[in-house]
Amino acid sequence: MSKDSIPLVHPSLGERELAAVAEVFASGWPAGQGPRGKALEALLAERYGVGDAVAVSNCGAALHLAMLALGVEPGDEVIVADYTFPAPAHAVRYVGATPVFADVRADTGTVDPAAVAALIGPRTVGIIAVDTLGMPADYTELMALAGAHGLFVVEDAACAVGATYQGRPAGSLAPVACLSFHGRKGATSGEGGALLAADPVIGADARLRSSFGIGSIYDQAQVVGLPIPVFTDIGYNYKLSDIAAAILQVQLDRVDELLQRRNKAAAAYAELLGDDDLLTLPHVPADRTHAWQSYLVTLDPRVDRAGLAAALRAQGIGCGQGAWATHLQPVYRSDRSCPVSADLFARNLAIPMHAELTEDQVEQVAHTLRAELKNNLRAS
Ligand SMILES: *Cc1c(COP(=O)(O)O)cnc(C)c1O
């Protein structure tokens, strides 16, 4: 149990999800790629209007499968958004290629198309954009750049289920997108993910590699006779269990309801914190909507973030630093600098955001934050 009385994040899992799990237990097929997994994939393909959807064990696996299906190889460079959970850069490294870190917009934290343009070179094969903590990136500009240079674009929509960009859902903004259903995202099965592809050939490649390089064992069990499948690829085991798939069918049905509750909390924070000079609130451009996987405020440079965070936690209020400046992580330490990302990494603070927050809790967070901002100014 966390000692936080107002946790930073909290999943919204209840009776409906439990009932769906009970049905899977009774069905006798808890493993992956069974009836629930197929139903989830159909639901995702329809929801996002894509050629194929592949249910996988997590978003990190989906990103790895995307790199494999797109043919990324050692020697290739892939431009990645710097300010994020560092999974995109990891995926590039899984296939032996080189991640090239692109700086982000100061107002949205999403990858800056001008920074991407400046990094395109002879070895660049593609771009992984991130819908940062639920905020869609600039896909009009990114797709135009990719078109002009023959690059692929992958959308890391791990945090963005429910967000929109120019009226289209996050997850359908690039030809390949990856979703996460981790316990700290807006829709969850504990662990889980999906790869969405406009081109069914990409989807089929990812599905095969997600199950050791052979087709669905469930399908084979339904066949009369004894056809023996052959292995043509060194695949992985990245399948999503039918237990998780059943939970996700319910969660997807609840996306709008859960998002509405997070929107309400975000609006209340804006109202309660908007006039405080010691922080900057999230900016949502008019052509997109935020999924509010997290709510990050950018602290004035005079605020001692560590002291503030310790004071909030001591009063039972969960908080964290938000995302990472990937290029500053020891595993990636490089000469390249992304000053905007580094600045957000140093000054951002995530405060409680989830669908279970009550109005009182939001008020308590805002009230305590305002008081502790003043108590935690650096001596200058
Ligand atoms: C959470 C997250 C991931 C990883 O998702 P998993 O499902 O835990 O693998 C990848 N990318 C981003 C941007 C994330 O926030």
Domain range annotation of the chain = 15-252, 255-375
Tell me the C-alpha distance between 126 and 139, whole Å: 14
Q: Which residue's structure tokens are 């139903």?
A: 39
pLDDT computed for residue 1 by the predictor: 34
Range 15-252 has CATH code 3.90.580.10: no
| pTM beyond 0.95, yes or no | yes
C-alpha of residue 155 to centroid of ligand 1, in Å: 12
User: Quick one: pLDDT at residue 136?
Assistant: 98
Give me the residue label for tokens 């903004």: 173
pLDDT at 4: 53
Alpha helix ranges (H) inside 70-216: 87-94, 113-119, 139-149, 200-209
Mean pLDDT of 99-124: 98
Name the pLDDT band for 49 (thresholds 50, 70, 90).
Answer: very high
Vertex 234: Cα angle to 180 and 125 (nearest 5): 60
How many Å lie between the centroid of ligand 1 and the Cα of residue 60? 6
Please answer whether residues 63 and 128 qualify as being in contact, where contact means their C-beta atoms are separated by less than 8 angstroms: yes
Nearest CA to ligand 1 atom 1: 158
Q: Is 373 in the pocket of ligand 1 (CB under 6 A)?
A: no
**Mean per-residue pLDDT, 59-67:** 98
pLDDT of residue 233: 87
The CA 133 to ligand 1 mean position distance, Å, reads 10
Best residue for ligand 1 mutational test, from 8, 56, 85, 94 (most atoms within 8 Å of Cβ): 85
Provide the pLDDT confidence category of residue 322 given band limits of 50, 70 and 90.
very high
Top-level class of domain 255-375: alpha beta
DSSP type of residue 328: G
